[in-house]
Amino acid sequence: MPAPIPTLTPEQRAEALAKAARVRKDRAEMRAALKAGRLSLLDVLNRDDDVARQTRVLHVLDSLPGIGKVRARRHLIDLGISETRKVQGLGERQRERLVKLFPPQG
Protein backbone atom coordinates (compact mmCIF):
# COMPACT_ATOMS: atom_id res chain seq x y z
CA MET A 1 0.00 0.00 0.00
CA PRO A 2 1.47 3.40 -0.94
CA ALA A 3 2.42 5.88 1.73
CA PRO A 4 -0.24 8.49 2.48
CA ILE A 5 0.26 11.85 0.83
CA PRO A 6 0.98 14.52 3.44
CA THR A 7 -1.54 17.30 3.74
CA LEU A 8 0.10 20.70 3.64
CA THR A 9 -1.39 24.06 4.32
CA PRO A 10 -1.08 26.57 1.46
CA GLU A 11 1.67 28.35 3.43
CA GLN A 12 3.63 25.12 3.97
CA ARG A 13 3.26 24.23 0.29
CA ALA A 14 4.47 27.67 -0.81
CA GLU A 15 7.43 27.41 1.57
CA ALA A 16 8.34 23.94 0.28
CA LEU A 17 8.12 25.11 -3.34
CA ALA A 18 10.32 28.13 -2.59
CA LYS A 19 12.90 25.93 -0.84
CA ALA A 20 12.94 23.49 -3.79
CA ALA A 21 13.47 26.37 -6.22
CA ARG A 22 16.37 27.70 -4.09
CA VAL A 23 18.02 24.27 -4.00
CA ARG A 24 17.67 23.85 -7.79
CA LYS A 25 19.17 27.31 -8.33
CA ASP A 26 22.08 26.63 -5.94
CA ARG A 27 22.75 23.25 -7.58
CA ALA A 28 22.74 24.84 -11.05
CA GLU A 29 25.20 27.50 -9.85
CA MET A 30 27.48 24.82 -8.37
CA ARG A 31 27.42 22.81 -11.60
CA ALA A 32 28.12 25.95 -13.67
CA ALA A 33 31.10 26.77 -11.42
CA LEU A 34 32.41 23.22 -11.95
CA LYS A 35 32.00 23.51 -15.72
CA ALA A 36 33.78 26.89 -15.72
CA GLY A 37 36.64 25.56 -13.59
CA ARG A 38 35.94 27.86 -10.63
CA LEU A 39 35.29 24.78 -8.47
CA SER A 40 37.13 21.46 -8.49
CA LEU A 41 35.73 18.02 -7.78
CA LEU A 42 37.58 18.10 -4.45
CA ASP A 43 35.85 21.39 -3.56
CA VAL A 44 32.44 19.80 -4.16
CA LEU A 45 33.32 16.63 -2.23
CA ASN A 46 34.50 18.73 0.72
CA ARG A 47 31.48 21.05 0.80
CA ASP A 48 29.35 20.64 3.89
CA ASP A 49 25.97 21.75 2.59
CA ASP A 50 22.89 19.89 1.44
CA VAL A 51 23.21 21.18 -2.11
CA ALA A 52 26.50 19.38 -2.69
CA ARG A 53 25.78 16.34 -0.52
CA GLN A 54 22.45 15.58 -2.18
CA THR A 55 23.71 15.93 -5.76
CA ARG A 56 24.22 12.74 -7.72
CA VAL A 57 27.86 11.93 -8.44
CA LEU A 58 26.94 11.39 -12.10
CA HIS A 59 25.75 15.00 -12.37
CA VAL A 60 28.86 16.29 -10.64
CA LEU A 61 31.14 14.38 -13.02
CA ASP A 62 29.29 15.40 -16.18
CA SER A 63 29.63 19.01 -15.01
CA LEU A 64 33.43 18.77 -15.06
CA PRO A 65 35.13 20.44 -18.05
CA GLY A 66 35.66 17.96 -20.87
CA ILE A 67 33.53 15.24 -19.28
CA GLY A 68 30.14 14.49 -20.77
CA LYS A 69 27.40 12.10 -19.78
CA VAL A 70 28.94 9.11 -21.58
CA ARG A 71 32.42 9.52 -20.05
CA ALA A 72 30.92 10.24 -16.63
CA ARG A 73 28.91 7.00 -16.76
CA ARG A 74 31.96 5.06 -17.96
CA HIS A 75 34.05 6.38 -15.04
CA LEU A 76 31.33 5.47 -12.54
CA ILE A 77 31.15 1.94 -13.95
CA ASP A 78 34.95 1.61 -13.83
CA LEU A 79 34.97 2.78 -10.20
CA GLY A 80 32.02 0.59 -9.19
CA ILE A 81 29.84 3.55 -8.21
CA SER A 82 26.11 3.42 -8.86
CA GLU A 83 24.67 6.04 -11.24
CA THR A 84 22.16 6.99 -8.55
CA ARG A 85 24.78 7.44 -5.79
CA LYS A 86 24.76 10.88 -4.20
CA VAL A 87 27.87 12.68 -2.98
CA GLN A 88 26.92 12.12 0.67
CA GLY A 89 26.79 8.35 0.06
CA LEU A 90 30.33 7.98 -1.26
CA GLY A 91 32.74 5.90 0.77
CA GLU A 92 36.23 7.11 1.65
CA ARG A 93 37.89 4.88 -0.99
CA GLN A 94 35.46 6.01 -3.66
CA ARG A 95 36.24 9.65 -2.84
CA GLU A 96 39.98 8.97 -2.99
CA ARG A 97 39.68 7.24 -6.37
CA LEU A 98 37.56 10.07 -7.78
CA VAL A 99 40.04 12.72 -6.63
CA LYS A 100 42.91 10.68 -8.05
CA LEU A 101 41.08 10.36 -11.37
CA PHE A 102 40.13 14.07 -11.45
CA PRO A 103 42.86 15.93 -9.52
CA PRO A 104 42.33 19.63 -8.72
CA GLN A 105 43.68 21.88 -11.43
CA GLY A 106 45.89 24.61 -10.09
- pLDDT of the residue at 2: 80
Instruction: Provide the CB-side half-sphere exposure for 31 (13 A, CA).
Output: 19
- pLDDT of the residue at 35: 93
Indicate whether 26 pLDDT > 70: yes
Write out the CATH class of domain 16-101: mainly alpha
Is 36 in contact with 104 (CB distance < 8 Å)? no
> What percent of the chain is modeled with pLDDT above 90?
83
Tell me what the pLDDT averaged over the chain comes to.
92
With H, G, I as helix, E, B as strand and everything else as coil, classify residue 60: helix
- DSSP-assigned states of every residue in 15-44: HHHHHHHHHHHHHHHHHHHHHHTSS-HHHH
Hey, where are the domains in the chain? 16-101
- Give the burial class of 60: count Cβ atoms within 10 A of its Cβ; 0-12 exposed, 13-18 middle, 19 or more buried: buried
Indicate whether 106 pLDDT > 70: no
Residue 21 confidence class, pLDDT cut points 50, 70, 90:
very high
Alpha-carbon torsion 48, 49, 54, 58, what sign?
negative
